[in-house]
Chains A and B, each alone.
Chain A
Amino acid sequence: MKITGAQALIKSLEHQGTEVIFGLPGGAILPVYDPIIDSTIRHVLVRHEQGAGHMAEGYAQATGRPGVAMVTSGPGATNTVTPIGNAYMDSTPLVVITGQVATGSIGTDAFQECDITGITMGITKHNWLLKDANDIPDVIAEAFHIATTGRPGPVLVDLPKDLSQTLMEWHAPPAPEELDLPGYHPQTKGDPQAIAAAAALLAEAERPVLYVGGGVLKARASQALLAFAELTGVPVVTTLMARGAFPDSHIQCLGMPGMHGNYTAVTALQKSDLLVSLGARFDDRVTGKIDAFAPNAKIIHVDIDPAELGKVRRPDVGITGDAKSVIEDLVKASAGLVQADRTAWWSQLDEWRARYPLTYDKNETVGALKPQGIVEALSAHSPEDSIVVSGVGQHQMWAAQHWRYDHPYTWINSGGAGTMGFAVPAAIGAKAGRPEKTVWAIDGDGCFQMTAQELVTARSEEIPIKVAILNNSYLGMVRQWQEMFYEERYSEVYLSPDLPDYVKWAESMGCVGLRVDTPEDVVPAIEKANSIEDRPVVIDFRTDASEKVFPMVAAGASNDEIMVHPSQREGA
């Protein structure tokens, strides 16, 4: 059967099970937009290509399926660079299809030409520039396979316009095991000897901690982790990328470690004698000053990516493998072992938990609501399995700290890259993939302004997300650093609470806009927003600009130098 390359591309995407493409057409990708009309795949028309990429990321993180974005050449392609880089840092499976100028024009600086495979080489797991329309089914199959297996990540396929217009002989794409990829064999099963050694080391440890990262979610290993934690009785910390991988309400959960982690989680890692790192990568935001991180701890490091073992900290036992498979094997290997007596460790942890809970000043005034309290109210008054999506900055940290995460895949954020503007489009993508769930974007006013034009997409495509802007009229995290480390010399961080008018912005984009500046209105507004199902809702919460995120470990400082909330400090 002869079909065009464009038809072959859409057919290949259908074959891979694609249910939604986030995209925006243009010259070089134009031929592909014709067969989309006849396809079963839903196309979500975005207002900026960056939005398409972040939507695909939100979709992937919420569903576990690869997100697909499609854009044209040149600026269309370069606008996806930020989401691709973001997905690379957070190991999110993403398939980005870019149109390219016709093969004969490549290298001539043709209109809307750019070397997008060159540009994205360092931020994709792999990319392809197609040279032959007959390769389309195989390359798309390879793209999905590589994006979703091993350590997941973004891939990009660049399709020259003449290939989408030319006829090719359709053939069904090969099954994953038949793909011709001689250099790609991810190892999923952990080495049995290393697993036995790890289980033995853990059983003997007196102050162990399970240091759980995003890899546990990627591997869909939450159930296995729960079984492992309960079998061994070891405390658990969940990193920013792993919130929800282990229930916050579980007695063994210490919460989030890191620069803005809670005192107990941070200090438990510091004082531990054994860290069992599961799908985490010793990121600098978790370790603080690396030489001073968990100085007396032995390390068991489990990761699907062997290059992570020893990249930052040399493990005593390194295990390459899929987190689910390895944790299940660790459960089996631990079953017959007697765990060391950890009564002293737990009483120490409980003492810290009682003495240094997450806290904030609850003394609110009109127009200066406490952002932490808003997050707590959102959490308390929204369906328990709601999905929370955040941007980057203070609001992100408050959302990570003060929402109670009891279910996996309910927290989506930009962790490694720290991409401001992530929340609104990623929330749209999450809602497109999980339409039955309530999806809250908890955003900052600075972040919101970067990508909020996608509310038009949300309204027109009937993707009713909810947005809570914690509007403190500042680039808050930068303001916090300027207050603490630059002698309160505030430089280029003031944004104004009223410019833009966020309620009018929401209304002009077909959304419901609400403004809340008094404490009594917080809960009613949240309840109202949660009752609206037919369109997006934006709430402009006027928050206290002087609020800072605590605890905090200053950049480059040791985790031992954690600054708790002022009310918890000596002499307070």
Chain B
Amino acid sequence: MAPEPFLGATEHTPVTHHILSVLVENKAGVLARIAGLFSRRGFNIYSLAVAPAEETERFSRLTIVVDAESAPLEQIIGQLDKLINVVEISDLAPIEAVERELLLATVPVSEADRGELLRSVAHAGAAIIDFSESQVTVSLSGTPAAIDAFEKALAEQYPSPEIQRTGRVALPRLDRSR
């Protein structure tokens, strides 16, 4: 079952969050330049994902979720654009974007409880990717809202699960009217 596309705010993703898709030259220190800029200007980063862009090694793409309440979005973009290694910035409002995030979670689970876990995993569209006698590792890729919901469910069901999230990546939502 594929989770519903995320269209609005949730507890973890207020509407003041904006997604910046930033193409940067893949040069030494570029992340430090961006992190330093956000820190010294008092802009808040909510999440950050980085990976090489396209086939070349020359550029990387950063998906930065910024808190536009910490500073006006145009000011964040304007200052970011001044960094010499920043090539291109696209600003995506959550409603104009399709977003995905990956979650990995290792949960302690007894033999007896595995049936319940399997049901949760199937319901969320997650997968089991590793297991031992006492633990199971699951993964889910989905909208940030779906990930939030799954994370919350795991945390309620199992004592201290170990959770890793990647931060989201996003692309502009396609216009179906054309």
Contact = CB atoms under 8 A, between A and B. Distances in A.
A binds B: yes
Contact of A306 (B78, B83, B84): B78
A305 B82 contact: yes
Interface stretch (B29-37, B134-142, B157-165): B29-37
B11 interface: no
A107 interface: no
Given A129-B28, A306-B78, A181 B40 contact: no
Interface string B25-62: 10011001100110010000000000000000000000
B75 A310 contact: yes
A510 to B, nearest CB: 42
B120 interface: no
Interface string A163-197: 00000000000000000011110000000000000
Contacts of B81: 306-307
Given A146-B84, A183-B86, A122 B36 contact: yes
A121 interface: yes
B84 A184 contact: yes
B70 interface: no
B110 interface: no
B13 interface: no
A122 B84 contact: no
Contacts of A181: 84
A370 interface: no
A307 B87 CA distance: 16
Interface residues of A, number: 19
B75 A183 contact: no
A121 B75 contact: no
A103 B138 CA distance: 44
Interface string A299-320: 0000001110111000000000
Nearest to B87: A183
Contacts, number: 44
B85 A183 contact: yes
A131 B28 CA distance: 10
B86 A122 contact: no
B52 to A, nearest CB: 16
B36 A117 contact: no
B14 interface: no
A125 interface: yes
Contacts of A305: 82
B115 interface: no
A311 B75 contact: yes
B155 to A, nearest CB: 38
B25 A183 contact: yes
Interface in A98-130: 117-118, 121-122, 125-126, 129
B87 A182 contact: yes
A121 B29 contact: yes
A125 B84 CA distance: 8
Contact of A310 (B24, B72, B82): B72
B79 interface: yes
B84 A183 contact: yes
B72 A126 contact: no
B111 interface: no
A559 B33 CA distance: 37
Interface in B55-96: 72, 74-75, 78-79, 81-88
Nearest to A126: B84
B79 A307 contact: yes
A126 B37 CA distance: 12
A220 B101 CA distance: 50
A307 B82 contact: yes
Nearest to B40: A122
A58 to B, nearest CB: 26
Nearest to B77: A307
A126 B82 CA distance: 10
B83 A183 contact: yes
B84 A121 contact: no
- Among A126, A305, A307, A311, the one with the most B-chain Cβ atoms within 10 Å of its Cβ is A307
Nearest to A129: B28
A182 B25 contact: yes
B84 A307 contact: no
Interface string B99-137: 000000000000000000000000000000000000000
A121 B74 CA distance: 22
Contacts of B88: 183
Interface in A132-167: 146
Contacts of A311: 75, 78
Nearest to B35: A121
Contacts of B28: 129, 131
Contacts of B85: 183
A268 B1 CA distance: 67
A126 B86 CA distance: 12
Interface in A364-392: none
Given A307-B75, A310-B72, A310-B75, A121 B33 contact: yes
A118 B84 contact: no
5 contacts: A122-B36, A183-B24, A183-B84, A183-B87, A311-B75
- A-B pairs with the 5 shortest C-beta distances? A307-B78, A183-B87, A126-B84, A182-B87, A183-B86
